[in-house]
Structure 1
Amino acid sequence: MVARTAPQLTPPAELSVSPEEVPQPVPARQRTPVDTEAIVRAYFADIPVMIDIAYCESRFTHYLPSGSALRGHIVPTDIGVMQINEYYHGDAARRLGLDLHTLEDNLAYARYLYTRQGTQPWYPSEHCWRRTLAAGS
């Protein structure tokens, strides 16, 4: 029995694409606030007040230009787009398998908090977002 090898197929030159030409997704840490805002709006479409909270807490910013997660100006243990306090919530987030430094997990933990405590964890910024609650959202 003679072993056969598969023929090598080469695409025509007009179909060849160099690796530099292949579109790449935007890495999470290079997302702009506009990208982050779209993600937040989609994730919390069912809880509009959380969209307003994200705006009030971080202006829809999660990652700084350095690639690190946004920290609170007044309370440096607040982190990310939802400004979740790592001191109080870091261990619980880790037990749930969440990393508050990533946008997706920051949002997931915010939803977890909201289902248990409502908007209470974000009461310090209530003056900014309470209009949404008053409007019945």
Structure 2
Amino acid sequence: MLLELVVAIGVAMMALMAIIATGLMIDMYDYFTKPSDRPSTVAAATDVTRRGSARSISNLSADVALPVIAQCESGGRQFDEDGNLIRNPESSAIGKYQIMASLHEKRAESLGFDIRTEEGNEGYARHLYQESGTQHWEADQRSKGCWGPVLRILARGHKPLKGFEVTMRREWTENIPFPTRGETRVDWMPKSLVTYQVMTSDGKITTFRGVESKDVSSRLSPGVRFRVLDADSAVINIVPSKTG
């Protein structure tokens, strides 16, 4: 009788252990394969948060977003000082909003827009924005690195302060100055797909892979430094914001 009891207890313990092990395996699978609200090591360590641009920027009206995009794309101009249409030497993009003529000119004409005129270029840009947000302008990382942080700040209802560019090299930059004292909300994005690191004022280092190519937003204190890991140099656009 005692032997049977011992055997029964042993079987029950083995079953319990199997259930616990299965649960742990499921939890581990969920952790590594499913998104959640758990803090990443980046956010937990430095309050640095990776942010995509599409979700909240899409709430901005064309009247707010398009002037920022135009400034980054062409300096807000359809023509240069000599009256020539502004062109991208590396593609068929033209005009104030750098519309890809090879992809969009015929379609724009069918809708009544001549993208070679400032009025038509802007009209078709507005059509594209209403149709698909910033998607048309996201392929050019140099441009996106300019307008991405600014539009993110505007989407949060804050006021962008004067931004500036920093050239990252393999050695750490000097401490990055901010226009306000104490902790400041800062958005930034590289203008090329590079892997880089940021060191916060407390000495913690976070690595950002080039394939992520998203603008980053964080509350930072003065004393932030950057360096690039997979290039000789790279430009990063930094835009502080006024939150109050």
TM over 0.5: yes
Q: TM-score range by the shorter chain?
A: 0.5 to 0.7
Aligned counterpart, 1:85: 100
In the TM superposition, residue 46 of structure 1 has moved relative to its aligned partner by: 5.2
Aligned residue pairs total 92
1:113 maps to a residue whose letter is L
Runs of 4+ in 1 over 4 A off after TM superposition: none
- Residues 49 and 132, structure 1, Cα contact 8 Å, conserved in 2: no
In the TM superposition, residue 49 of structure 1 has moved relative to its aligned partner by: 2.0
Measured in 1, the distance between the counterparts of 2:65 and 2:150 equals 6
In the TM superposition, residue 63 of structure 1 has moved relative to its aligned partner by: 1.2
In the TM superposition, residue 73 of structure 1 has moved relative to its aligned partner by: 2.6
| Residue deviations 1:60-84 (CA, integer Å, cap 9, x gap) | 1211344331111321x10101000
Aligned counterpart, 1:98: 113
Aligned counterpart, 2:85: 69
Measured in 2, the distance between the counterparts of 1:46 and 1:85 equals 19
| Cα distance, 1:74–1:47 mapped onto 2, change above 3 Å | same
TM-score using structure 2 length: 0.35
| 1:129 corresponds to which of 132, 147, 153 | 147
Measured in 1, the distance between the counterparts of 2:62 and 2:128 equals 15
User: Cα RMSD between the aligned structures?
Assistant: 1.7
Measured in 2, the distance between the counterparts of 1:46 and 1:111 equals 6
- Residues 62 and 130, structure 2, Cα contact 8 Å, conserved in 1: no
Measured in 2, the distance between the counterparts of 1:93 and 1:86 equals 9
Measured in 2, the distance between the counterparts of 1:88 and 1:131 equals 27
Q: Which structure has the larger Rg?
A: 2
Aligned counterpart, 1:55: 71
Greater helix proportion? 1
Aligned counterpart, 2:34: none
Provide the secondary structure at the position in 2 that maps to 1:57.
Answer: helix
Gaps of 5+ in 2: 1-60, 158-244
Q: Which moved more, 1:106-115 or 1:63-72?
A: 63-72
- Residues 100 and 106, structure 1, Cα contact 8 Å, conserved in 2: yes
Measured in 1, the distance between the counterparts of 2:128 and 2:97 equals 11
Measured in 2, the distance between the counterparts of 1:63 and 1:113 equals 21
1:107 maps to a residue whose letter is E
Provide the secondary structure at the position in 1 that maps to 2:128.
Answer: helix
1:108 maps to a residue whose letter is G
TM-score using structure 1 length: 0.61
